[in-house]
Each structure stands twice: as C-alpha cells, then as structure tokens.
C-alpha cells in the first residue's frame, strides 16, 4: 500500500522531550518504520519548522518525511498552528492529486482536519488517531487550556466524518462516544514500545558490549546516573525516576511533594529542555521552587532532555519509575519502564489503566494525591523482592502485548478494512 501518515506538529525525526515533542513523535516514527519494513511505501507529512530542512528526506528506516511549507519555517507552539492548516491541506491536496495514497492516517486533530479537506471528493479513506482530546484537556485545564476554541467542535466533526478512528485506550472510546462518535467506528490499538531498545538490564557480569557502551554513555552524559544498569552500592539512596515532557499535567510536582514523605530516596526527572537550557525554563523554575518549599531540593535532580537512545540506561539505573499524570491519552513511558523490567507506580488514568496491572506489574494510585503516592512508594522501596517481581512481570507483559510489530499489524488490518470498503463502494457505483 501507499500510506500517507500526516503528523502536522510531531516530526518523527525530531528530538523528543520538549514541550511539544514526545509520544506522538515516537509513535509516528515507529509505525512508519514498521510499515516500511513490511514493504509498504510510507510518506510522513509534517510541517516544515526549520528553514534549512530539505523538502524530502528518506529516514534510515526506509520511510520518506516530507516537510510541508505551512506557516513560518520556524518552531511554532502547536496551539498556534491552526491558522496554517489551510496551507497544509492545500499542499496535501496538490500532492495527492498527482500521487494519491491508498490510505491516509492522520495523527492529532489538526492533521485530521487537513487530511479530510485534502482527501475530500477523492475517495481516499482517512483514518484518525487523536493522541489527545480537547474535551479532556479542557476538563482538566479549564481557562488555562491554550488550545484553539474550535478544537472540540472539530474533533466532534472528525469522529463522525473520518472512515475509522483508532483510539489508543478503552477510556478514549468512552470519551469519543460522549462527543458523538457513532458506535462501531473505533478500534482500540495501543501504542507500542521499541523492544529492541528497551530491554531488561543484563545480569551482572553478563553485559554485552552494547550494554556496556550504553551504560558508559549514560553515565558520562548524565553524571547523577552513576550506576546505569547496575545495582547501587549499599547505603546509597534509592532512586525514583520520572520521564516526560515538563508540562504541569504530567504530575511531576505531585511526585516532588510525595518525596518529602519518602525518606532516603532521590528523584531523577528526565525531560524538558536540553540540560544547558534548564535554568531558562519556567516549568523547571516552578519545580525547583516546589522542591525547595517541600524541603527536598537537594534530593531532586533535573536531568533535562535525555537522548531517546540513552533512555534504557536511565530506566536501568532507577529502583521505581513513577508516572502520575492528571490525565494521559496513552503514556508510552510506563511501557518503556515495563520493557526495562522496572516496577511502575502509575496514576489510574487513560492508557495506564490498560498497561499497568496493579499488584502484578506495579501499583496504581489516584492522580493528584501525593499522600497516597508516598505511602505506596515507601512500601515498594522497602520490598526489593516485590520490585523485582513487578519488573519481571512488566517486561513479559510488554513483550507479549506491546511490540510495535503487533501494534502495526493491527493498524494494517484497519487500513485493509477501510481500503476494501472504498473498493466495494466504488464497484457498487
């Protein structure tokens, strides 16, 4: 199949960890790579956000990234991109009139809008993955939500007009039904995890050269992670790890508050701007103030953005991974933690309800409850056997259910269904 993936703000080749670059970039990159490996011709359309990026580039994994001129060729916050979507869809319409893809898969609501406009009257089926929903964001952020006001109405329109919706977790289907998606229009296909990168740490003394190199690199680049992949010497504090974009809703401040009630533990926070730009970041300043106020400033280490390839070493170095967002469309980080055989404490929201099995791969706590989180963390840190059991079960679960191969095979089935439907409709005409 000729497959067009449309991802207006999330470029699969971008560095992740910043405010607008995270799970969607990883998702689109992994899906494009796996579809290419299966023999499909995949083009990812993403907005040009640098003047010198080439019109087209072939990624090492075999898919093509096309940089669409729409708006200024500089970084623009995603909540300010809507006015440029007309130009984006005009570009797509032109490209697809010359070389129509068999199927379009739009990622995020603005990509859906641009794709639907560009594919109108062509018969090209459009599949939509929202990644996040405006109605949920509005519920949690209220007046601080910076999304364009039309977002919710556009999402309501999309879930009626596209050929199929791919939701990433069960909770999302409920949200979509509540905004008017007709029954039977969505399939649940989770995000995946790169199992060749995210693996359990090898037992001591059995490291292969790649693991040693990874650990050394992790240790050099991020000095607080001095024992990447290795048990720490007795008496060193236990390490908790949070990974993600530094946005308020990720609940990092809740973990900092909880730390005040978890003695002898340190908190590593991976994500945000590059390490040398940490001091300029308002969310970093806020988190530092929260930590100082809670009396744990010396036990909180902000690492800044960590190269994705270095993430396994960071996971291996910690005792427990904490992911307690206020809401979460899916959450790839808990899967990465599980694949690395780390126990996870997650909040009972969104995709974490599907991925984390309480009492088996980790523990689940209500969001925004640092007191409950602290209780659970104290119990877990005091019980290394339970940590090891959760880690092993998490790694088995990630391998069984969340490989990108499995996720892509399910996505391919959706493409086959919508393209067969178009064919049947054309014959009937």
- Interface residues with ligand UDP (CB under 6 A)? 16-17, 22-24, 26, 243-245, 270-271, 305-306, 308, 311, 330-333, 336
- Nearer to ligand UDP (CB atom), residue 96 or residue 330: 330
CA atoms within 13 A on the CB side of 181: 26
Q: How far is the CB of 20 from ligand UDP (least distance, A)?
A: 9
| Dihedral (CA of 254, 256, 257, 261) sign | positive
In total, the chain counts a number of residues equal to 429
Q: How far is the CB of 168 from ligand UDP (least distance, A)?
A: 9
For 357, the token pair is 């099995």
Q: What are phi and psi of 18, to 5 degrees?
A: -75, 180
Spatial neighbors of 191 by CB under 8 A, at least 6 apart, are: 23, 26, 27, 168, 330, 332, 335, 351, 402, 407
Q: How far is the CB of 308 from ligand UDP (least distance, A)?
A: 4
- Nearer to ligand UDP (CB atom), residue 255 or residue 332: 332
Q: How far is the CB of 27 from ligand UDP (least distance, A)?
A: 8
Given a contact cutoff of 8 angstroms between Cβ atoms, the answer to whether 376 and 348 are in contact is no
CA angle 370, 304, 80 (to 5 degrees): 90
- Nearer to ligand UDP (CB atom), residue 103 or residue 219: 219
- Nearer to ligand UDP (CB atom), residue 22 or residue 125: 22
Local structure of 165: helix, strand or coil = strand
What is the Cα–Cα distance from 295 to 257, expressed in whole angstroms?
9
83: alpha, beta or left, given left = phi > 0 and alpha = psi -120 to 50?
alpha
Q: How far is the CB of 86 from ligand UDP (least distance, A)?
A: 26
> Which residue bears the tokens 């080439």?
54
- Nearer to ligand UDP (CB atom), residue 124 or residue 338: 338
- Nearer to ligand UDP (CB atom), residue 12 or residue 331: 331
Q: How far is the CB of 252 from ligand UDP (least distance, A)?
A: 12
For 185, the token pair is 């229009």
Tell me the residue nearest to ligand UDP as measured from the CB: 22
- Nearer to ligand UDP (CB atom), residue 10 or residue 376: 10
Q: What are phi and psi of 364, to 5 degrees?
A: -120, 135
Rg (CA), the chain: 22
Partner residues linked to 3 by β-bridges: 42, 103
Q: How far is the CB of 121 from ligand UDP (least distance, A)?
A: 34
């Amino acid at each position: 199949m000729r497959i067009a993936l449309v991802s207006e703000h999330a470029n699969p080749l971008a560095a992740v960890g910043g405010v607008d670059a995270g799970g969607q970039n990883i998702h689109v990159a992994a899906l494009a790579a796996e579809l290419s490996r299966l023999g499909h011709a995949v083009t990812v359309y993403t907005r040009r956000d640098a003047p010198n990026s080439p019109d087209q580039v072939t990624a090492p994994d075999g898919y093509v990234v096309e940089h669409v001129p729409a708006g200024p060729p500089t970084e623009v916050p995603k909540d300010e991109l809507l006015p440029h979507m007309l130009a984006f869809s005009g570009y797509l319409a032109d490209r697809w009139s010359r070389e129509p893809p068999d199927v379009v898969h739009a990622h995020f609501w603005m990509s859906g809008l641009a794709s639907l406009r560009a594919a109108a009257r062509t018969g090209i089926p459009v599949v939509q993955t929202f990644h996040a929903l405006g109605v949920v964001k509005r519920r949690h952020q209220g007046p601080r939500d910076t999304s364009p006001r039309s977002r919710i109405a556009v999402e309501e329109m999309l879930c009626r007009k596209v050929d199929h919706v791919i939701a990433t977790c069960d909770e999302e289907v409920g949200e979509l039904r509540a905004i008017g998606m007709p029954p039977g229009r969505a399939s649940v296909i989770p995000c995946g995890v790169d199992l060749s990168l995210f693996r359990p740490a090898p037992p001591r003394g059995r490291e292969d050269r790649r693991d040693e190199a990874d650990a050394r690199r992790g240790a050099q680049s991020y000095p607080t992670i001095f024992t990447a992949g290795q048990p720490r010497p007795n008496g060193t504090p236990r390490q908790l790890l949070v990974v993600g974009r530094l946005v308020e809703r990720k609940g990092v401040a809740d973990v900092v508050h909880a730390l005040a009630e978890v003695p002898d533990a340190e908190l590593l926070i991976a994500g945000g701007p590059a390490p040398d730009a940490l001091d300029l970041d308002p969310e970093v300043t806020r988190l530092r103030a929260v930590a100082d106020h809670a009396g744990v400033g010396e036990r909180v280490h902000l690492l800044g953005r960590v190269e994705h390839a270095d993430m396994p070493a960071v996971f291996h170095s910690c005792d427990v991974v904490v992911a307690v967002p206020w809401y979460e469309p899916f959450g790839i980080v808990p899967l990465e933690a599980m694949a690395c055989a780390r126990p996870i404490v997650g909040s009972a929201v969104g995709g974490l309800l599907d991925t984390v099995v309480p009492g088996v791969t980790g523990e689940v706590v209500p969001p925004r409850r640092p007191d409950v989180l602290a209780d659970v963390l104290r119990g877990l840190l005091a019980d290394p056997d339970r940590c090891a059991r959760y880690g092993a079960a998490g790694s088995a679960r990630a391998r069984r259910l969340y490989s990108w191969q499995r996720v892509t095979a399910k996505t391919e089935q959706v493409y086959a269904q919508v393209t067969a439907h178009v064919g049947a409709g054309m014959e009937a005409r």
